[in-house]
Amino acid sequence: MQDTIWQSFGADSAGGVRVRVATAILAFALIGIAITSMGGTAALALLCAFLGGALLAVAAGWRPEAGRGPLEALANRLDSSLESIKDLQWEVRERETRYRDLLDHQDEVIARRDADGLLSFVNDAFCRTFGVNRPDVLGRPLSLPILASDAARDKGTHSASRNTRVIELATVSGPRWFLWEDFALPGNGKARSETQSVGRDVTEQREAELALARARDQALTASQAKSQFLASMSHEIRTPMNGILGMTDLLLDTKLSPEQLTYARAISTSATTLLALIDEVLDFSKVEAGKIGLRPAPFQISGTIQGVVELLAPRARDKRLEIGWFAAPDLPRTVIGDEMRIRQVLMNLVGNAIKFTEEGGVSLTAKWVPDPTHEGRTVLRFDVADTGPGVPPQALGRIFSEFEQAEQGPARRHGGTGLGLAISKKLVQAMGGEIRVDSRPGSGAIFTVELPLDVPARTPALCEAWPKPPAGERVLIVLNGQVEAGLTETLLSAIGIPAARASLQDCARIAERAAGKGEPFTALFTDKASAENGASAVIPLLACPSSQSKPRAVVTIDPSERNAYPALSEKGFTGYLVRPVRPASALTQLFAPIADIPQTEGPLDPPDSAGRSPHPAKGLTILLAEDNDINALLARTVLQKAGAAVVHARNGAEAIARVREANEAERGFDLVLMDIHMPDMDGVEAASRIRALYPAGARPGANRPPIVALTASAFTEDRASFLASGLDDYLAKPFEKTDLENILVRWLGAPPSAGAGAA
């Protein structure tokens, strides 16, 4: 049976077949081992089986003629498979060659290490960079010639599979910086993983970064130097300007001939203009240097608007312009924002409007409006409107640019640097708001500022503090000024009071017609000129509300016209208001019971028209610490004219000694005016030591004298810095006589100005 089997394979004898079978089995085993070591797939294993079978057949003495049909087909398939294997081997070798060529042509340094840390591959860039031959380094550990490591620029990528660092290496071209990255390559099957390292030369990039850092440091240093220069220049310019303006003010208070008076006023006007220009340039420089510091805090928006308008009212009156303001009754009494920056913007806009307006007037209004960019949010909107010539269309696009003005060329009528609006725009943008202008030539201009301001919780509206008009009130407005009339009508309409505007010629007829219809007016709101020229004829036609003792007739007057009110009172007028009119004061005069009307409302005015004592500091002793002789003379003269006894100290140490001496003599000082920049000891240090002479917790104005900074450092942050350093108040040079007197009023209780009255 066994021989029959071997004979079926075509063997001559059983022994010869066994030899051939053994040979076939050995060949099969060798091929299987080779394929396994190469990581062969199932297809290759099957192919191996076919090859083994063929070899087995050959070893058994198989003859082609014995089974040419199926065995010949098997041989053909085996030949085709062998050809495919050869093709695959060639393709693998080709891909490996391309891969190595690709790595060799990379600019990055590339090295590969096996699981034992020995180099299995390095590219040409590696050999060129470190001056080595590939055969000399393969099979050896990787040893990098590290000179330094840049921890500051380390990319910070450290993990089990990836590590990145910035190192300086010694190369044939000298020291070079590399971004060096080590990462593990995934293994195939049972093969142990390798590690590949890639180094990218970042020397030029690093040098550029270092150059940029040096440039940034230089820019910061230059910016700091610029800020210091600006602060120094501001101080040095303001110190002599204080003397010029202050002494001119004192000169104007003396008896001068008409010619001398003209010259003195020209000096004062020119010096004030020069100071304004210098302030604009310095402000713009700070804005450009990015030194805008916002300090949001709660403040009363109506007080800010009122302060701006009342401060600029004298300038408007000098040009015979009207000026007024209105705050919507639904505005919150308190908002959160940077009051100083908002005030600066409004001062710029209102001041500009006065400057470019020749007839009519200027108004400042405030109200809440929906934010067009954020649904559900409201913004505080300020409108500064004027009756000037307007802004030409070609100038609208550049009016907020630096050094630009609506008027160009040598024929322009108004001077200036063209920086006010540019500064205002940058400030508004810094506060997250928007500024724009709407104008047509010949129709005036409206500058609009919208600011997103927060409101403290449970803040009442402005109208909560306003008097509540009785039912049935109707007001007749007879005012020559269209701006003043419009603001008054807007105010009354906002609180729901019917009002009608009438000319002086028609006011009596309109009042009589209203009375005949059973809808009489209950109040008259007019101005001094109209009151003196016939508006008083309306008073008998007014009806008296049941809650009032008599109909109201209120007249508006300029600050210098208070002495005209007694005569108007005899004509039936019940009260007066000093321009610019405060909305709350107007409503008080029109609707509050006479017994509730305060006798001292209105803006602060010069001493000669304010009803204030001509000697607000009479009987007071004031210490003046000032090292500049001219500024000391100015301050001493103003204080002495106000009735104060003045003790002068030339530096901080002397000021401390004078306070100590006065305390020992039990006569103390009522106020200390402290210059900040003084030799030997500055004002801040001197103020600190003076406070130390009094018990802890002593309050300025009560248990110790207030210490007021008297300084030419007039930037907003300077004021905040001095107050934070412990000084109690701040007076910037150059100061006017009224500024110093207002300090006396604030701290020493001098009588305030009278601004409104009632008959």
Q: pLDDT by residue (tens digit) across 161-189?
A: 678 889 999 999 899 999 999 888 776 55
Q: Give Cα 78 distance to the centre of its chain.
A: 82
- The neighbour count for residue 389, using CB atoms within 10 Å, is 19
Sheet holding 162-171, edge to edge: 119-122, 109-113, 194-201, 174-185, 162-171, 146-149
Give the model's confidence band at 602: pLDDT under 50 very low, under 70 low, under 90 confident, else very high: very low
> Do residues 392 and 406 touch, judged by C-beta distance below 8 A?
yes
In which band, very low, low, confident or very high, does the pLDDT at 12 lie, cut at 50, 70 and 90?
very low
Split at pLDDT 50, 70, 90, the class of 494 is: very high
Whether residue 641 has pLDDT greater than 70? yes
- How large is the average pLDDT for residues 114-140? 89
Pairwise pLDDT comparison (169 vs 261), residue with the higher score: 169
Return the higher-pLDDT residue of 161 and 264. Answer: 264
Q: By three-state DSSP, how is residue 383 classified?
A: strand
Identify the residue with better confidence: 217 or 712: 217
Per-residue pLDDT at 385 exceeds 90: yes
Question: Of how many residues is the chain composed?
Answer: 759
Are 114 and 120 a contacting pair, CB within 8 Å? yes
Tell me which of 385 and 46 has the higher pLDDT.
Answer: 385
- In the prediction, which pLDDT does 69 show? 64
pLDDT category at 94 given cuts 50, 70, 90 is: low
Highest mean pLDDT among 291-305, 395-409, 437-451: 437-451
User: Is residue 10's pLDDT more than 60?
Assistant: no
Q: Model confidence at 244, in pLDDT bands (50, 70, 90)?
A: confident
Rounded Cα gap, residues 262 and 196, in angstroms? 90
Of 103-117, 207-221, 447-461, 597-611, the range with the highest mean pLDDT is 447-461
Superfamily of domain 297-451: Histidine kinase-like ATPase, C-terminal domain (3.30.565.10)
Are 578 and 602 in contact, with CB atoms under 8 Å apart?
yes
- Min mean pLDDT across 411-420, 478-487, 513-522, 646-655 is at 411-420
pLDDT, tens digit (0-9, with 9 covering 90-100), for 572-592: 898 899 999 999 999 999 988
pLDDT for res 240: 80
CB-count burial class (<10 Å; 0-12, 13-18, 19+) for 42? exposed
- pLDDT category of residue 294 using cuts at 50, 70 and 90: confident
From the candidate CATH numbers 3.20.20.70, 3.30.200.20, 3.40.190.10, 3.40.50.2300, the one assigned to the domain spanning 621-756: 3.40.50.2300
Residue 486 has pLDDT above 90, yes or no: yes
> In the predicted model, is pLDDT for residue 539 greater than 50?
yes
Q: What is the pLDDT of residue 38?
A: 52
Which of 70-84, 329-343, 600-614, 718-732 is predicted with the least confidence, judged by mean pLDDT? 600-614
Looking at the predicted structure, is the pLDDT value of residue 26 above 90? no
Angstrom distance (rounded) from CA 94 to CA 100:
10
Q: Which range has the worst mean pLDDT, 31-45, 221-235, 242-256, 494-508? A: 31-45
pLDDT (average), residues 473-500? 93
User: Would you say domain 107-201 falls under CATH 3.40.50.10440?
Assistant: no
Distance CA 217, CA 214 (A): 5
Lowest mean pLDDT among 15-19, 269-273, 400-404, 607-611: 607-611
pLDDT of 1 reads 44
Per-residue confidence at 758, pLDDT binned at 50, 70, 90? very low
Q: Which amino acid is at 466?
A: W
pLDDT of residue 615: 65
> pLDDT > 70: what percent of the chain?
74
| Chain centre to alpha carbon of residue 19 | 98
Instruction: Pick the more confident residue, 21 or 182.
Output: 182
Among 35-39, 48-52, 589-593, which stretch is predicted with the lowest mean pLDDT?
A: 35-39
If residue 112 lies in a helix (H) or strand (E), which one and from where to where? strand 109-113
Q: What angle do CA 115, 117, 121 make, to 5 degrees?
A: 90
The answer on pLDDT for 485 being more than 60 is yes
Q: State yes or no: cis peptide before 580, omega within 30 of 0.
A: yes
What whole-number distance in Å separates Cα of residue 128 and Cα of residue 109?
Answer: 9
Rounded mean pLDDT, 543-554: 81
Q: How far is CA 500 from the centre of its chain?
A: 44
Q: 223 pLDDT exceeds 50? A: yes
Over residues 419-423, the mean pLDDT reads 80
- Give the pLDDT band of residue 213 (cuts 50, 70, 90): confident
pLDDT at 29 over 90: no
The C-alpha atoms of residue 594 and residue 584 are separated, in whole angstroms, by 15
Instruction: Classify domain 209-288 by CATH number.
Output: 1.10.287.130
Bridge partners of residue 198, in order along the sequence: 110, 181
Name the most confidently modeled range: 75-79, 101-105, 499-503: 499-503
Look at residue 408 in the predicted model and tell me its pLDDT: 45
Q: What is the mean pLDDT of residues 99-116?
A: 75
Q: Is residue 441's pLDDT more than 90?
A: no
Domain range list for the chain = 2-102, 107-201, 209-288, 297-451, 466-603, 621-756
Statement: residue 564 has pLDDT above 50? yes
Number of H helices, E strands in the chain: 22, 24
14-37 and 42-59 helices cross at what angle (nearest 10)?
Answer: 160
Q: In this structure, what DSSP letter does residue 141 have?
A: B
297 or 79, which is more confident: 297
Return the exposure string of 172-206: e unless at least 16 CB atoms fall within 10 Å of the residue's CB, then b: eeeebbbbbbbeeeeeeeeeeeebbbbbebbeeeb
**DSSP three-state, residue 398:** coil
Whole-angstrom CA distances from 82 to 49, 51, 85, 86 are: 13, 9, 5, 6
* pLDDT surpassing 90 at residue 446: yes
Contact 110, 196 (CB under 8 A): yes
Q: What is the mean pLDDT of the chain?
A: 79
Confidence tier at 606 by pLDDT (50, 70, 90): very low
CA atoms of 385 and 443, how far apart (whole Å):
10
For residues 756 and 426, which has the higher predicted lDDT (pLDDT)? 426
Confirm whether 466-603 and 621-756 share one CATH topology: yes
Spell out the residues 6+ positions from residue 525 whose beta carbon is closer than 8 angstroms to its own: 475, 476, 477, 478, 479, 488, 554, 556, 586, 590
Instruction: Kindly tell me if the per-residue pLDDT of 704 is higher than 90.
Output: no
User: What is residue 235's predicted lDDT score, i.e. its pLDDT?
Assistant: 67
Residue type, 507: C
- CATH code reported for the domain at 466-603: 3.40.50.2300
Give the number of C-alpha atoms closer than 13 A to the C-alpha of residue 662, restricted to the C-beta side: 24
**pLDDT tens, position by position, 673-683:** 998 888 888 88
pLDDT at 450 (0 to 100): 95
Share of the chain above pLDDT 90, in %: 23
The secondary structure of 304-343 as a DSSP string is HHHHHHHHHHHHHHHTT-EEEEEE-TTSBSEEEE-HHHHH
